[in-house]
Amino acid sequence: MPRKLILTERKLGRERAAGQAFPDDGLIEIDPRLEPRQWLSTLVHEAVHIAFPDADERSVVRAERIITRILWRAGIRRIYQ
């Protein structure tokens, strides 16, 4: 895992993705048009890809769902500024 993580927002319609992770660069891109819960879910999903770059997609999705549910119930929300 890279020492520095870069989180950027970029419209990803052309890529047909809600988010993208680039583990070698420590870069996560998330589409800013997502609703708060979907934004959080996407962030968690891409963060799991960064933390475990060799994990298969099924494992990443499972971890994403569990972690997102826990964070959402704990009141973690995206606050728009």
All structural domains of the chain: 6-73 (3.30.2010.10)
**Mean pLDDT for all residues in the chain:** 94
Inform me whether the pLDDT recorded for 81 exceeds 70: no
In which band, very low, low, confident or very high, does the pLDDT at 78 lie, cut at 50, 70 and 90?
Answer: confident
Write down the pTM of the prediction: 0.91
Dump pLDDT digits (tens) for 40-50.
999 999 999 99
Across 32-71, b (16+ Cβ under 10 Å) vs e yields eebeeebbbbbbbbbbbbbeeeeeeeeebeebbeebbeeb
Dump pLDDT digits (tens) for 49-62.
999 999 999 999 99
Dump pLDDT digits (tens) for 67-76.
999 999 999 9
